[in-house]
């Protein structure tokens, strides 16, 4: 089962998969946007973004807009590549089992 | 032997369930990509109504010009100001209708009306539109009247093409049609009125109806 090897463990969770999907088509997304789109709690989102950061698939940028802290997430080149590979593997698997 | 068969079917069961999950993954990825980058709650019906307003407005303008200024439009005269007001009212009614119907549709879709995707859509729609609007006002102020209709169609078309990247992709084609009508209008300014009615009236009705049946009736 060499196909299974291409399935990326990091993306084996709904929230992490969702974060990457959003960051693939957007230059960046901030914390609240991700939270609303994915319908998750603050703590849940934070732990999953941390996991993706640790894998170096996204970078986290903290800044201030006025006095409010604002956190932005951006997909790295490595993350984009890994996600593309993951999707290709998913599609292959679906094709094979059909 | 029994154990072997059992583990064999179990293996396939797991594989089958997994592939179902993957299918769900893929559709969720697609959904999130769309939701996060495009505002798709535009109402087709508001397009139809905008077209109807445009035709009513054009009829009023036609009546004004033909009955009170004997077919020629004096641009510093009273009638010209009425025609200008008529145009502003068409735009205003269309915008209000679009806001009301789009809000309604967004609520039905459980989408937010004012979020990153709708802001991005409006900004990108307004940049060519406001540029065009100001440009038309400037050339009207310089007493160059001949191309106003053509410019309205062209800049509106460019706005639609620009906005299509952040909304339902199909509005791009309406944009192309408006641009072509605008260029034809620039070549034959004598038909300006009818091309305007075609572009802002009839095309909106046709397009809105098509969008309504394609996206709204679900």
Q: What is the mean pLDDT of chain B?
A: 87
Asked if residue B38 is part of any domain, the answer here is: no
Do B7 and B108 reside in the same domain of the chain?
Answer: no
Check CB contact of B72 with chain A, cutoff 8 Å. Answer: no
Asked if residue B86 is part of any domain, the answer here is: yes
Do B50 and B28 reside in the same domain of the chain?
Answer: no
Asked if residue B195 is part of any domain, the answer here is: yes
**Mean pLDDT within B187-195:** 92
pLDDT (tens digit per residue) in B42-78? 889 999 999 999 999 999 999 888 877 665 555 667 8
**What is the distance in angstroms between the Cα of A52 and the nearest Cα belonging to chain B?**
16
Do B63 and B20 reside in the same domain of the chain?
Answer: no
Contact B26 A94 (CB under 8 A): yes
Report how many domains make up chain B. Answer: 2
**What confidence score (pLDDT) does residue B208 get?**
95
Q: Of the candidates B207, B201, B155, which has an alpha carbon nearest to the alpha carbon of residue B52?
A: B201
Do B20 and B103 reside in the same domain of the chain?
Answer: no
**What confidence score (pLDDT) does residue A7 get?**
73
**What confidence score (pLDDT) does residue B35 get?**
84
**What confidence score (pLDDT) does residue B92 get?**
95
Do B21 and B89 reside in the same domain of the chain?
Answer: no
pLDDT band at A2 (very low <50, low <70, confident <90, very high): low
pLDDT (tens digit per residue) in B97-148? 999 999 998 888 777 788 888 898 999 999 999 999 999 989 988 888 889 9
Do B65 and B10 reside in the same domain of the chain?
Answer: no
Please give the backbone phi and psi of residue A65, each rounded to the nearest 5 degrees, phi first.
Answer: -110, 105
Do B24 and B48 reside in the same domain of the chain?
Answer: no
Asked if residue B168 is part of any domain, the answer here is: yes
- Structural domain boundaries, residue B2: 1-33
**What is the distance in angstroms between the Cα of B53 and the nearest Cα belonging to chain A?**
36
Closest chain B residue by Cα to residue A93: B19
pLDDT band at B157 (very low <50, low <70, confident <90, very high): very high
Q: Which of B25, B31, B110, B120 should one mutate to test binding to chain A, selecting the residue with the greatest count of A CBs within 10 A?
A: B25
**What confidence score (pLDDT) does residue B10 get?**
58
Residues A93 and A91: their CA atoms lie apart, in Å, by: 5
**What is the distance in angstroms between the Cα of B156 and the nearest Cα belonging to chain A?**
26
Task: Output the pTM of the full model.
Answer: 0.77
Q: Which CATH number fits domain A2-93: 2.40.50.40, 3.40.50.1970, 3.20.20.140, 1.10.10.10?
A: 1.10.10.10
Do B142 and B186 reside in the same domain of the chain?
Answer: yes
Closest chain A residue by Cα to residue B112: A36
For B16-59, give the DSSP string.
Answer: HHHHHHHHHHHHHHHHHHHHHH------HHHHHHHHHHHHHHHH
Contact A17 B29 (CB under 8 A): yes
Residues B153 and B150: their CA atoms lie apart, in Å, by: 5
């Amino acid at each position: 089962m060499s196909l299974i090897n291409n399935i990326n463990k990091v993306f084996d969770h709904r929230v992490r998969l969702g974060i990457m999907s959003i960051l693939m088509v957007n230059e960046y997304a901030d914390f609240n946007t991700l939270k609303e789109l994915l319908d998750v709690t603050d703590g849940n989102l934070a732990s999953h973004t941390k996991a993706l950061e640790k894998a170096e698939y996204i970078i986290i940028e903290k800044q201030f807009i006025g006095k409010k802290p604002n956190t932005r997430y951006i997909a790295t080149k490595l993350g984009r590549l890994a996600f593309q590979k993951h999707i290709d593997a998913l599609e292959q698997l679906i094709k094979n089992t059909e | 032997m029994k154990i072997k068969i059992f583990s064999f079917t179990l293996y396939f069961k797991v594989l089958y369930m997994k592939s179902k999950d993957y299918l769900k993954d893929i559709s969720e990825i697609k959904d999130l990509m769309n939701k996060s980058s495009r505002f798709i709650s535009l109402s087709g019906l508001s397009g139809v109504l905008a077209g109807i307003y445009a035709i009513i407005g054009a009829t009023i303008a036609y009546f004004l010009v033909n009955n009170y200024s004997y077919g020629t439009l004096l641009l510093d005269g009273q009638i010209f100001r009425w025609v200008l007001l008529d145009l502003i009212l068409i735009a205003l009614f269309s915008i209000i209708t679009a806001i009301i119907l789009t809000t309604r549709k967004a609520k039905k879709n459980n989408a937010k009306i004012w979020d990153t995707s709708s802001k991005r859509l409006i900004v990108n729609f307004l940049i060519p539109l406001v540029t065009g609007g100001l440009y038309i006002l400037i050339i009207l102020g310089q007493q160059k009247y001949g191309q106003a209709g053509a410019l309205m169609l062209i800049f509106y078309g460019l706005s639609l093409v620009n906005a299509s990247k952040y909304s339902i992709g199909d509005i791009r084609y309406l944009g192309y049609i408006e641009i072509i009508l605008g260029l034809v209008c620039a070549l034959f300014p004598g038909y300006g009125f009818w091309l305007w009615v075609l572009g802002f009236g009839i095309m909106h009705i046709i397009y809105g109806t098509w969008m309504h049946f394609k996206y709204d009736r679900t």
